[in-house]
Amino acid sequence: MEAVGHKEAYRYVEELVQQKVPLSEKVIKDIHSLVLMDNREDRGVYRRVPVTIMGAVHTPPQPYLLPVRMEELILKYQEMSLLHAVERVTQFHLEFEAIHPFIDGNGRTGRLLLNLELMKAGYPPINIKFGDRKRYYDCFTSYHINGEDSSDMVSLVGEYLEEALLKYVEIVKGANEISNGSGIT
What is the reported pLDDT for 113? 98
CATH superfamily of 2-43+58-179: Fido-like domain (1.10.3290.10)
Q: What is the mean pLDDT of residues 171-175?
A: 88
H helices of the chain, in order, are 2-19, 25-35, 66-79, 85-99, 106-120, 133-145, 151-179
Residue numbers annotated as active site: 100
What is the reported pLDDT for 143? 96
Q: What is the mean pLDDT of residues 150-172?
A: 95
Q: How distant, in Å, are the alpha carbons of 74, 94, 156 from that of 143?
A: 19, 8, 13
